[in-house]
A and B are shown apart, each in its own frame.
Chain A
Amino acid sequence: MDPKINEIAASISEIVKKLNGSTLYSQLKRAAQKEVEKPTASLATLKTDVVEALKTSGWDRLLRNKIFAYLSSCQASLDQSLPFECQKEPLMYMRKAQANWERRILKSMNSMCTELSIPLARKRPPEEQRALLHKWNEMGTEEPDLSHFRPVYAPKDFLEVIISLRNPNYCGLLGPEVDEKPSGGHWGLIQVPLEIPKLKDLQNQFSEFAHGHGHAGVDDNLDVPSEAFQNERNKIAKKVLDEKRSVLAQYFCRNGCPSGHRAEIWQLALGVTVNHLDVLKYEQLKGYVLQHDLLVDSLIYKDVKLTAVNDDYYFVFEDYLYQVLLVFSRDTSVLNHFAQSSAMPPKSFIRGKLGQDEYAVVYPPNGVIPFHGFSMYATPLCYLYAEPVGLYYIFRQFYTRYFHRLHAISSHPQGIVSLCLLFETTLQSLHPRLCRHLQEIGCQPLKIAFKWLVRAFAGYLATEQLLLLWDRVIGYGNLLLLPILAVAIFLFRQSNLFLITSASGVEASLADITTLHVVPLIQLVLFPT
Chain B
Amino acid sequence: MSTKMKFATDLEKSVLINNFEKRGWTQVSADEDWNFYWTNVNTTRSIFSLENGYRLSDDQIINHFPNHYELTRKDLMVKNIKRFRKELDKESHPLAEKDENGRYVHLDSIPVTFLLPADYNLFVEEFRKNPSSTWIMKPCGKARGIGIFLINKLSQIKKWSRDSRSSSFVAPAAKDAYVISRYIDNPLLIGGKKFDLRMYVLVTSYRPLKCYMYRLGFCRFCTVKYTQSTNELDNMFVHLTNVSIQKHGEEYNPVHGGKWTISNLRLYLEGTRGKQVTDKLFDEINWLTVMSLKAVSSTMANDRHCFEVYGYDIIIDDKLKPWLIEVGF
Contacts and interface: CB of A to CB of B under 8 A. Distances in A.
Interface string B186-203: 000011110000000000
Contact of B256 (A258, A310, A464): A310
A315 B275 contact: no
Contact of A463 (B190, B255, B264, B272): B264
B272 A385 contact: yes
B272 A316 contact: no
Interface stretch (A78-86, A157-165, A259-267): A259-267
B105 interface: no
A316 B194 CA distance: 10
Nearest to A260: B275
A282 interface: no
A511 B104 CA distance: 51
Interface residues of B, number: 27
A397 interface: no
B253 interface: yes
Contact of B270 (A259, A310, A315, A318): A259
A234 B193 CA distance: 30
A316 B225 contact: no
B224 interface: yes
A24 interface: no
Nearest to A143: B250
B317 to A, nearest CB: 15
Contacts of B275: 234, 258-260
Contact of B193 (A260, A316, A384): A316
B232 to A, nearest CB: 12
B329 to A, nearest CB: 27
A378 to B, nearest CB: 12
Interface in B202-222: 221
A263 B192 contact: no
Contacts of B282: none
Contacts of B256: 310-312, 315
B267 A260 contact: no
Contacts of A309: 253
A232 to B, nearest CB: 14
Contacts of B250: 143
B251 interface: yes
B271 A137 contact: no
Interface in B141-193: 190-193
A383 B190 CA distance: 10
A383 B271 contact: yes
Interface in B252-286: 253, 255-256, 258, 260-261, 263-264, 267-268, 270-276, 278
B191 A318 contact: yes
Contact of A319 (B225, B260, B270): B225
Which of B225, B264, B271, B272 has the largest number of chain A CB atoms within 10 A? B271
Contacts of A140: 225, 251
A138 interface: yes
A141 interface: yes
A260 B275 CA distance: 5
Which 3 A-B residue pairs are closest in the complex by CB-CB distance?
A260-B275, A138-B225, A259-B270
Given A258-B275, A384-B271, A467-B271, 9 more contacts: A259-B270, A261-B274, A309-B253, A316-B191, A316-B221, A317-B190, A319-B191, A320-B191, A463-B264
Interface of A: 137-138, 140-141, 143, 234, 258-263, 309-313, 315-320, 382-386, 463-464, 467
25 contacts: A137-B225, A138-B192, A259-B270, A260-B271, A260-B274, A261-B274, A262-B271, A312-B256, A312-B261, A313-B260, A315-B221, A315-B253, A316-B190, A316-B221, A317-B190, A317-B191, A319-B192, A319-B193, A320-B192, A383-B271, A383-B272, A384-B271, A463-B264, A463-B267, A464-B263
